[in-house]
Amino acid sequence: MNPARENNVASNIDSPSRVEWQEPPMLTVDERGMICDCSKAGEKLFGYSLKDLVWQPVSKLLPELSGIQLVNNGRFNSQLGFLSRCGQPFLAINRLGNIFLNNLHFVLLNYSGEYAIRVIVQPC
């Protein structure tokens, strides 16, 4: 490798501005579909503050999840998992009523027998 290039690569790696991590938009939803938590990026994406979202149905933001059982006997809904892995876009609605498409990624969380779903939202 060219020594000048090596120095440039090393200086870019050490630069804090190149290694910034940004939290993705995320929601935490209980097994009944009620929002328990929302990341700052999620608040920004949907235009709501956390206090406006807590204990609201996830279908307020992701209408296609309305009426869907997220967890059954400690297992995540396999149909949703399949659609997520296939890259099926889901509709989302922000506070202003704007509709946009997202890929959703789901993670099943277990808190001493109580289940929740982490929903990672990736705008298309």
Domains of the chain in sequence order: 23-123 (3.30.450.20)
What is the pLDDT, as a whole number, of residue 3? Answer: 52
Spacing of C-alpha 94 from chain mean position: 14
Q: What is the mean pLDDT of each run of 10 residues along the chain (124 residues)?
A: 50 55 91 96 97 97 94 89 94 97 95 92 94
The pTM of the whole model exceeds 0.85: no
Closest CA to 53 of 64, 65, 40, 72: 40
